[in-house]
Every structure is written in C-alpha cells, then in structure tokens.
Amino acid sequence: MVDTRNVLIYALKDPDTLEIRYVGKTVRSLSRRLGNHIANAKGNKHNVHLSNWILKLLRQGKRPIIELIENCSYLNWQEREQYWISHYPDLINITDGGDGCVGLIHKPETIEKLRQAKLGTKHTQEFKDNMSKRLKGKSLTQAHKDAIGNANRGKKASEETKKKLSKAHIGIQQTEESKKRRSETIKAWWAKRKAIV
C-alpha cells in the first residue's frame, strides 16, 4: 500500500524578528515537531547551528515559532521542501532538503558507524513493495544519472560479490519483455562504444 499521509512543510521563525531561520517537513503535528526540535537541541545535536539557536532562545525564556508553509503529499514533498529551502535566504539548514540527505556529507567515521548499525538488517516484503510502488514511474534527472555513473565508474566487483550476485540470480526467470529490454540496452551500449573508438 502506497503511503498517502500528508506531509507538512514548515518554518521555524525567530520569535522577536519573525525571520524564517529553518525549513523542514513532518508527518506529525507542528506542535509535536517543535517539541522534537527542542528535545534534540538539548540532547543530540544533529544540526549544531539549529541546536545552538534553539538553546539560545530557551535561555532567554523563548521558543521558536513553528508555522505551516505548505501541505503536500508523499509524492512531491521532497521537491517542495527543496523549493522552500532555496526560496529563503540565510537559513540554518545543513542540507538542500528532500529526505534530509541531499547536500549532507558525513565524516568517514560516521559512515562506518551507520554501515555497522545496518549490517544484517533486512527489509520486510511489505516495505519493499511500498518502496517499489512509490518509485515506479519516477524518472531520474540527467544530473542524478551522471552522478550515479561517475560514482560507479572504474569500480570492479570483488570475486566474493560476483559469487553472491550469481547465487542470488539462480532460478530467476526473465520475462520476454525483460530479455528484449536487456538486449536493446546491450546493443545501444556496444553501438556507443564503437562510435567512440
């Protein structure tokens, strides 16, 4: 089943100047989301600039004002959050928006911790089906395709990875349509390669 919840794009405003300092998204109530921000500021400082700003207000006996900017769906919230973040100057967001990861570069030690935490984790079939439905028909921008190509260029799979891939594909029957698409892709790749040479 596709996620049909509404997504709220909101702003955190300075209580004195009413200047918008931060743009985010939530599927919860705005009051609950503000409570999360305040709890995070007191504990886990994910966004140090945001946490420091909130803590400064709290020391003055104040709180940020949270305000709804746009009510959107799960189909377009990433695009809308990115739009509003780019719309307002001088924000203390640490990313460009859209799932809280675009533009954010983790330290190598953070990446390793995240990797270790995810080892052995398997998604349920329901999760996989929902993800498939949400992404079906969603086309990638040329910039996104180029980024994927550049990231994978020159990489070679280890023998262990090749064996795992081979084992995973045993018994899988391809449809005629799938075979045709694969054949066309390979032909196009060879044609492109011959043209370069």
* pLDDT digits 0-9 by tens, 166-190: 887 787 777 888 888 888 888 887 8
pLDDT of residue 93: 87
Task: Return phi, psi of residue 153, to 5°.
Answer: -65, 130
Q: How confident is the model at residue 1 (pLDDT cuts 50, 70, 90)?
A: very low
Distance CA 23, CA 196 (A): 46
Higher pLDDT among residues 25 and 47, named by residue: 25
pLDDT of residue 101: 46
* pLDDT digits 0-9 by tens, 141-158: 676 677 677 666 777 778
pLDDT of residue 78: 87
pLDDT of residue 4: 65
The pTM (predicted TM-score) of the whole model is: 0.51
User: Angle at the Cα of 160 (from 151 to 121), degrees rounded to 5?
Assistant: 75
* pLDDT digits 0-9 by tens, 31-76: 999 999 999 898 866 688 899 999 999 999 999 999 999 999 888 8
* pLDDT digits 0-9 by tens, 6-21: 899 999 999 999 999 9
Helix (H, G, I), strand (E, B) or coil at 178: helix
pLDDT of residue 103: 43
Q: How far is CA 193 from the centre of its chain?
A: 33
Distance CA 38, CA 110 (A): 23
* pLDDT digits 0-9 by tens, 90-141: 899 887 776 554 444 556 776 677 677 667 767 677 767 766 765 666 666 6
Domain residue limits, the chain: 1-131
H helix runs in 88-175, sequence order: 108-118, 125-135, 142-152, 159-168
Give the β-pairing of 65-73 and 6-13.
Answer: antiparallel
Instruction: Please give the C-alpha separations between residue 1 and each of 5, 20, 127, 129, 142, in angstroms, as whole numbers.
Output: 12, 36, 9, 8, 29
Distance CA 197, CA 175 (A): 33
